[in-house]
Amino acid sequence: MTKIIILFDGICVFCHFWVRFLCRLDRNNRLQFSSLNGEWAKKWELKNNHSLLKYDSILAIKENKILTEDRAIFTIINALGGGWKIFLLLSLLPTKWTKKAYQFIAKIRYQWFGKFSECPLPNKKYQHKFL
């Protein structure tokens, strides 16, 4: 079973909502998490000579391949399995539309949901999911 590493904006309130939600849904422990500016991400960047901070997006790393924006979301949904796969129907829409929808939400996320002054610590119950 391939693990998917999800890198997220550590100060984004909206992003943290989704990370907490995904932690509860991921009963098979297929997902692991790291802040984009966390230690794990920094080590990955050095090892792979590739900057992750250049993305203004959630990232999913699966088999060392970086997936961004809508592709990351669809990969995460697929990993959750079960009834959540119904949302994969959205992947049938033109990529141009799904990318634009993602980019719109990413652009307004701080205005609508705010930001933390620093990345909050994960719930102890899910600490094993964080790198």
Per-residue pLDDT tens digits for 42-71: 898 888 888 887 777 789 999 888 898 889
* Range of lowest pLDDT (13-17, 81-85, 108-112, 118-122): 118-122
| pLDDT tens digits, one per residue of 71-115 | 999 999 999 888 998 999 999 999 999 999 988 998 899 899 988
- pLDDT at position 1, please? 65
In 13-122, which residue ranges form alpha helices assigned H by DSSP? Answer: 13-25, 39-48, 69-80, 95-113
pTM of the shown model: 0.85
Report yes or no: 67 and 59 within 8 Å, Cβ to Cβ: yes
Task: Compute the average pLDDT of residues 19-24.
Answer: 91
